[in-house]
Amino acid sequence: MTLSTDLQSLWERLHEFRDGVLPLRLLVTEDHPVGVPPQPVQALADGLDEAFGLLAEAIEALSVAMQANAEPRERERAIRMLGLCNDRLIKLDHRWNDEVSSYYQLTQLVTAAQERGRRWRAWTATVLDGVAGWTGLRCEVHLALLACWQDLAERATFSDLPSYPFAATKER
């Protein structure tokens, strides 16, 4: 594949992930049962908002990388922007794992729902299904990102790589 094709594939995976997470985000932030949501719901909403913001930043960085990749003289800019996209995806993973899909977070949500009754329990089951459903797509995003880096690595020449002086080791 070419770098342009790999970047396009990453673009599609990122948008599929965004389009899939959006309904979950809306469910948690706006479509919860009537009444003041318990603190775990707000914590989950905050985590989803943070993750969604990082995803938007990753998509924006990839957009710049794709535009720069179209210009031969802009190769370094494309690489920097792909690196920024990668950085945002790493941060997104940390947010997702710590604030959205962590055992602690989801246990708090289930406990609060059990205390609030049947509607909250049904809503929480839907949220749990939504959170669990995006693991595979996150993996596809990372595989598409890896393909971009592999394509760049295959195109690199040894003169592109930095040289590091290695200290000679004494034989014993």
Residue 100 lies in a domain: yes
How do residues 105-116 score in pLDDT, each as one tens digit?
A: 999 999 999 999
**CB contact set of 99 (below 8 Å; sequence gap of 6+):** 43, 44, 46, 47, 48, 50, 51, 105
What average pLDDT does the segment 137-147 reach? 94
What average pLDDT does the segment 141-150 reach? 95
DSSP annotation string for the chain: --HHHHHHHHHHHHHHHHHHHHHHHHHHHT-SPSSPPPHHHHHHHHHHHHHHHHHHHHHHHHHHHHHHHTSGGGHHHHHHHHHHHHHHHHHHHHHIIIIIS-HHHHHHHHHHHHHH-HHHHHHHHHHHHHHHTTHHHHHHHHHHHHHHHHHHHHH--GGGS-----PPPPP-
Determine what percent of the chain is predicted with pLDDT higher than 90: 67
Residue 163 lies in a domain: no
Where in the sequence is the domain holding 25, given as residue range(s)?
3-155
Residue 129 lies in a domain: yes
Say how many domains are in the chain: 1
Residue 35 lies in a domain: yes
Residue 160 lies in a domain: no
How do residues 38-97 score in pLDDT, each as one tens digit?
A: 899 999 999 999 999 999 999 999 999 998 887 878 888 889 999 999 999 999 999 999
Residue 167 lies in a domain: no
What pTM does this model have?
A: 0.83
